């Protein structure tokens, strides 16, 4: 068993970055497998604080090779800034590679994201406006430009010209800003020297590493509820964070994927629009937002808050093969008399334990809760499960019993060392 997938179980921001960084010293290779800089992964250790958007969270372990896979859409200007900022902070980026099949995200994708959201009006998704959807649209339209294309300047110019003309036609329909292909060409070819040596066939690299029995960790972005296929469509992102997408998104055989660590907060959050059955609006949600610092890493937006939803965890177990869970931000639930966990939904008078396929039905789901007693003790310095307050242990055991998934990690603070392994 030499691979592990780290996947968010909810609507993102579950603490994937923290857990991937924590685990990375056990792994030779760390691969980000989808999404782009819509992600924001926070890592804290030794009084240092990093927020990564594109680079895998294994970058802080000098021995780990970090890979941006073919499944990603990568804003090259953001990547170059992120590399330079890490180098400025003393982090070595020599061990960073990019798939020659990963798609490049250009400035016109960002403008198109804005235009499409405006067009949707009240039905907007509430995207991060980083151009993610439009870049994946180009991939599926079979006009996308990939990192391998960047290395041949003539054909890169040809492909870029066609795409800029095409994007400008759409943008002018909306009255949005249009783009100058030469300016983009000059800017993007100026990055070649910085990244040329990093562009490789990552499918070959990862497969060889697995065959040599090296340990590989696959880090997802977003979460299963934002999955294009299995999330709360259409309020989702444009890729598949589910672990089942790892093989395709990394160019490896599915036989290598056996262990899937689902990352869940001890409660639920969501940024952007879309139904959220366990969402709460009260003093408790305000307190959780404040203590948990629930503001988006990428956009700074207030995160919506709700109780933990085990229907969602069971959904993740089925569609994403979750074998183990890490429960994060358990410390944030300290100080509440009562805590609730959703165990099923009431949909139009019927009890269900799955996520309905339409957003209309999902919006009508009323959570069925069990209530548990809370705990008052500070748990942020606790290092073992046995030392947790009894009610915190009961909370964890209830999640295990309700979902049938083993909990192997509990996180009690944002720092690397505030982690309990069971």
Query: What residue ranges bind ligand GDP (CB under 6 A)?
Result: 8, 12-18, 39-42, 44, 292-293, 297, 328-329, 331-332, 411-414
Residue 226, φ and ψ in degrees, nearest 5: -105, 10
Query: Tokens 């009323």 sit at which residue?
Result: 366
Spell out the residues 6+ positions from residue 171 whose beta carbon is closer than 8 angstroms to its own.
108, 111, 112, 115, 177, 178, 179
Distances (CA, A) of 108 to 161, 173, 184, 288: 12, 14, 10, 38
Decide if residue 13 touches Mg ion (CB under 5 A).
Answer: yes
When the beta carbons of 130 and 317 are compared against ligand IMO, the nearer one is: 130
Identify whether 13 is a catalytic site residue.
yes
When the beta carbons of 34 and 168 are compared against ligand IMO, the nearer one is: 34
The interface partner of residue 125, options being ligand IMO, ligand GDP, Mg ion, none and the CB cut-off 5 to 8 Å by kind, is ligand IMO
Decide if residue 110 touches ligand IMO (CB under 6 A).
Answer: no
Decide if residue 219 touches Mg ion (CB under 5 A).
Answer: no
Question: Beta partners for 308?
Answer: 341
Q: Are 4 and 259 in contact (CB under 8 A)?
A: yes
Which tokens belong to 343?
């165990």
Which tokens belong to 305?
């808050």
When the beta carbons of 72 and 125 are compared against ligand IMO, the nearer one is: 125
When the beta carbons of 201 and 273 are compared against Mg ion, the nearer one is: 273
CB 27, min distance to Mg ion, A:
20
Distances (CA, A) of 378 to 223, 293, 414: 29, 17, 14
When the beta carbons of 355 and 379 are compared against ligand IMO, the nearer one is: 355
CB 228, min distance to ligand GDP, A:
18
The interface partner of residue 126, options being ligand GDP, Mg ion, ligand IMO, none and the CB cut-off 5 to 8 Å by kind, is ligand IMO
Alpha carbons 169 and 167: distance in angstroms, whole number: 5
Angle at the Cα of 47 (from 66 to 292), degrees rounded to 5? Answer: 90
The interface partner of residue 133, options being Mg ion, ligand IMO, ligand GDP, none and the CB cut-off 5 to 8 Å by kind, is ligand IMO
DSSP 132-170: HHHHHHHHHHT---BHHHHTSHHHHHHHHHHHHHHHHHH
Three-state DSSP state, 32: strand
Among 195, 266, 271, 341, binds ligand IMO (CB under 6 A): 271
CB 226, min distance to ligand GDP, A:
11
- Which of 21, 28, 41, 331 is flagged as catalytic? 41
Decide if residue 399 touches ligand IMO (CB under 6 A).
Answer: no
CB 112, min distance to ligand IMO, A:
11
CB 50, min distance to ligand GDP, A:
10
Alpha carbons 418 and 45: distance in angstroms, whole number: 10
Contacts of 226-230 with C-beta under 8 Å, sequence gap 24+, read 226/8, 226/11, 226/12, 227/319, 227/320, 229/319, 230/315, 230/319, 230/320
Active site residues: 13, 41
Name the site residues for ligand IMO (rule: CB under 6 A). 8, 11-13, 38-41, 125-128, 130, 132-133, 221-223, 226, 237-238, 271-272, 297
Name the site residues for Mg ion (rule: CB under 5 A). 13, 40, 297
């Amino acid at each position: 068993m030499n691979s592990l997938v780290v996947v968010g179980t909810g609507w993102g921001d579950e603490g994937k970055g923290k857990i991937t960084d924590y685990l990375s010293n056990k792994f030779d290779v760390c691969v980000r497998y989808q999404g782009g800089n819509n992600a924001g992964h926070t890592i804290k250790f030794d009084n240092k604080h990093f927020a990564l958007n594109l680079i895998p969270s294994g970058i802080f372990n000098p021995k780990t090779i970090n890979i941006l896979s073919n499944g990603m859409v990568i804003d090259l200007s953001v990547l170059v800034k992120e590399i330079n900022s890490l180098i400025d902070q003393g982090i070595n980026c020599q061990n960073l590679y990019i798939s020659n099949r990963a798609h490049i995200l250009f400035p016109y994708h960002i403008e198109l994201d804005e235009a499409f959201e405006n067009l949707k009006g009240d039905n907007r998704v509430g995207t991060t406006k980083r151009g993610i959807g439009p870049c994946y649209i180009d991939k599926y339209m079979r006009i996308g430009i990939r990192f391998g294309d960047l290395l041949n300047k003539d054909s890169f110019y040809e492909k870029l010209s066609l795409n800029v003309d095409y994007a400008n036609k759409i943008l002018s329909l909306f009255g949005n800003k249009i783009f100058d292909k030469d300016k983009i060409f000059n800017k993007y070819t100026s990055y070649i020297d910085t990244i040329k040596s990093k562009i490789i066939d990552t499918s070959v690299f990862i497969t060889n590493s697995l065959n040599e029995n090296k340990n590989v960790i696959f880090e997802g972005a977003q979460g299963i509820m934002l999955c294009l296929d299995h999330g709360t469509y259409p309020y989702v992102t444009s890729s598949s964070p589910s672990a089942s997408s790892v093989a395709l998104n990394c160019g490896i055989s599915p036989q290598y994927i056996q262990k899937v660590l689902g990352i869940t907060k001890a409660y639920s959050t969501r940024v952007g629009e879309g139904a959220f059955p366990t969402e709460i609006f009260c003093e408790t949600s305000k307190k959780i937002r404040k203590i948990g610092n629930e503001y988006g890493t990428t956009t700074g937006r207030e995160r919506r808050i709700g109780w933990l939803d085990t229907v969602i965890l069971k959904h993740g177990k089925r569609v994403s093969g979750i074998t183990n869970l890490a429960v994060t931000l358990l410390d944030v639930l300290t100080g509440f008399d009562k805590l609730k966990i959703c165990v099923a939904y009431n949909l139009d008078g019927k009890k269900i334990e799955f996520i309905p396929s339409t957003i209309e039905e999902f919006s009508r789901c009323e959570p069925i809760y069990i209530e548990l007693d809370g705990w008052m003790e500070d748990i942020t310095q606790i290092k073992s499960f046995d030392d947790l307050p009894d009610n915190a242990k009961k909370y964890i055991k209830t999640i295990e019993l309700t979902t049938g998934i083993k909990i192997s990690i509990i996180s009690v603070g944002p720092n690397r060392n505030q982690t309990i392994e069971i």
